Amino acid sequence: MKRFKFIIKNKISKLPGTPGVYALKDKKEILYIGKASNLKERVKNHFQQPTYRDNLFINKIQKIGFLKADSEIEALILEANLIKKYQSKFNISWKDDKNYFYIAFTGEDFPKVFLTHQPKNLSFINYVGPFVDGNALKQTLKLLRKIFPFRSCQKIPKKLCLWYELKRCPAPCLLKSSLGKQIPGELEKTKKESQKNVKNILKIFQGKKKQVLDNLKKEMKDSSRGQNFEKAAKIRDQIKYLERILSHKIIFENQKDFVNWELIQEKIQKVLNLPVGGQNKIFRIEAYDVSNFQGKEATGSMIVFIKGRSDKNLYRRFKIKLYEGKPNDVAMLKEVLSRRLKHKEWPCPDLILIDGGKAQLNVALNEFKNNKEMKVLALAKKKNELFIKGRKNPIFLRNLSPDISNLILRIRDEAHRFAIIYHRKLREKKLFS
């Protein structure tokens, strides 16, 4: 494991302004370990704006150690491993605090991954932690689950759930169905895939990302040599996405990241090919998504961001009426937008983000055709292509600056989350009615 580089405490200005982990040390031992997206600013805050907890030890600090990280995900993992290694007094004394998390990995045929505050001493469960930042941990697991689907249910259900629909679970429940039992070798295949995915996630949280990537690259080459090109392509996509999220500088954004909204607004205006200035202001952003299962219990969501911050008081949800039982996302989106426009009392958005591709963009443009100045974007999930009003070809999100691409992803994911929550409620209501 990497070792801290130490400086004396009056040299804080020498700290890098990058993601990483820091250690606050007295004469003999490390008292506190933390992570930061900007090491210099975070350590400054300990001394300039101390919290109640900081005041318990801040006057004892003589040296500051630091370790740079490639990304905030790496900093999150480093922090947990270093707290465990050094048993830093003012981290461990708060270990039972509800702000601390552990990731648990069960040793079943189809392993389960879940978060817990108080790990139990069970031989069939592996734990990683303690993690201080619960939101960052949940976001990291959410991203990794896209690459390595895992089971999170308490008991394997008899019917397929939404995690299977979202391709976030290998679906051992499918094996209980009559169809699953008829497929030769499917049980063993699903078992191996489940165990391999969980093993890879565990290794990443143990700081062994290079080992995971090397193993995937070897597996991809072996599959290609064996002419199993479909499997090789799937692993290639896993490698690409994993490398992307593990090297990203801005993964966990919070409200303070959008304090300088003027700068963010100017960047968005440039993406939209608009003159930079007040007349093209972007203050209120609305995003829309629809959720359904084979057309049933279809729902739509409208979420609102004001100057880059979500305003949940302005969120609205729609129960799809006209297309119940007909899986047509484009038509469902049209209904949602049409119903939204009937609410003249709601402020008009400065920018609209639609979950979808060119078809969804055209639906939105048609619905808002009376407002020629309306700025509309559509984000297609598969390749994260951004379709823009007035632009012939889409833009890949990865080609935009990190602050803009992450803001767009954050808004899109929030619209999806809000839509799926309402969809689940409707499904549960129907199930128990």
Give residue-wise pLDDT tens across range 90-105.
876 544 444 578 888 9
Give residue-wise pLDDT tens across range 159-184.
777 777 778 888 787 776 665 566 66
Distance between CA 136 and CA 34 in Å, rounded? 13
**Which has more pLDDT, 223 or 176?**
223
User: What is the phi/psi pair of residue 364, to 5°?
Assistant: -65, -45
Cα angle for residues 63, 69, 71 (degrees, 5° grid): 140
Query: Does residue 326 surpass a pLDDT of 70?
Result: no
Q: Roughly what angle, to the nearest 10 degrees, separates helices 134-147 and 186-205?
A: 140
**Which has more pLDDT, 259 or 159?**
159
- Res 304: pLDDT: 93
**Which has more pLDDT, 55 or 252?**
55
Average pLDDT over the chain reads 81
C-alpha distances out from residue 13 to 54, 94, 238, 240, 406, Å: 20, 29, 39, 36, 28
Determine the length of the chain.
Answer: 433
Distance between CA 195 and CA 334 in Å, rounded? 42
CATH class entry, domain 5-92: alpha beta
- The runs of H, that is alpha helices, within 39-133 are 39-48, 72-86, 89-92
Pairing of strands 375-380, 351-355: parallel
**Which has more pLDDT, 395 or 427?**
395
Instruction: For residues 22-51, give the mean pLDDT.
Output: 87
Give residue-wise pLDDT tens across range 91-150.
765 444 445 788 889 888 889 999 888 777 776 788 887 887 777 788 888 888 888 998
Indicate the domain borders of the chain. 5-92, 258-432
- Res 427: pLDDT: 63
Query: Does residue 228 surpass a pLDDT of 80?
Result: yes
Cα angle for residues 403, 420, 415 (degrees, 5° grid): 30
Instruction: For residues 354-376, give the mean pLDDT.
Output: 84
- Res 24: pLDDT: 93
Architecture of domain 258-432: 2-Layer Sandwich (3.30)
| Centroid of chain to Cα 156 | 25
Residue 179, amino acid:
L
Categorize the per-residue pLDDT at 187 as very low, low, confident or very high, splitting at 50, 70 and 90.
Answer: confident
Instruction: For residues 247-272, give the mean pLDDT.
Output: 66
Instruction: For residues 27-45, give the mean pLDDT.
Output: 88
Categorize the per-residue pLDDT at 245 as very low, low, confident or very high, splitting at 50, 70 and 90.
Answer: confident
- Res 352: pLDDT: 93
Choose the weakest-confidence range: 86-100, 193-207, 377-391.
86-100
Give residue-wise pLDDT tens across range 328-360.
778 888 888 888 888 888 888 999 999 888 888
Distance between CA 113 and CA 321 in Å, rounded? 37
Please report, to the nearest 10 degrees, the dihedral formed by the alpha carbons of residues 138, 143, 149, 154 taken in order: 10
Cβ pair 366, 428 in contact under 8 A: no
| Centroid of chain to Cα 315 | 20
- Res 255: pLDDT: 38
**Token pair for 369:** 């055709």
Q: What percent of the chain has pLDDT over 70?
A: 86
- Res 433: pLDDT: 54
- Hey, how many other C-beta atoms are within 10 angstroms of the C-beta on 184? 7
Query: Does residue 251 surpass a pLDDT of 70?
Result: no
Instruction: For residues 278-298, give the mean pLDDT.
Output: 78
